[in-house]
Amino acid sequence: MIKSVKATRRGGKRSGAGRPSTWSTNDIKAIRVPCLLVDQLLEIARYLDGQECFPRPFYSFEDEDSKDFDALKAMQLNYLHSCAGALTHQNNQLRIEIESLKAELKSAKKRRLRLI
């Protein structure tokens, strides 16, 4: 015997339900990576997201004479650090702009309610 389905307002997707995201953006995607790289990749992702700040490696001129110094890696790290800094700055500027737009929208809603 088939039971009739009631049209109730229970279950399903609801706005505002669930734990808030820890990321700056709500547009996220799960990926599969090797277990050995998970911690390092999360550290890099959180750094690029602007949630963490760790000091960049600094290579002094004395390090260039050592046999372990890798000039290409040093240049890549320097480039990535400058890109991450620029992205962090843009991210912070966008957050400020979003907050100001939210405040303007809130005040516009209040003004509209006063007129009605």
- In 3-state terms, the chain is what percent helix, strand and coil (to 5)? 55, 0, 45
What pLDDT does residue 53 have?
59
What pLDDT does residue 54 have?
56
What pLDDT does residue 49 have?
78
Alpha carbon distance 69, 73 (integer Å):
9
Q: Is the Cβ–Cβ distance between 64 and 71 less than 8 Å? A: yes
Return per-residue pLDDT of the chain as tens, 116 residues. Answer: 555 555 566 667 777 777 777 777 777 888 898 888 888 888 888 877 776 555 555 545 456 666 666 777 777 887 888 888 888 888 889 999 999 999 999 888 888 777 66
CA pseudo-torsion sign 83, 88, 89, 93 = positive
What pLDDT does residue 81 have?
82
Name the token pair of 20: 């808030």
Name the token pair of 95: 């957050």
Name the residue ranges covered by the structural domains of the chain: 35-115
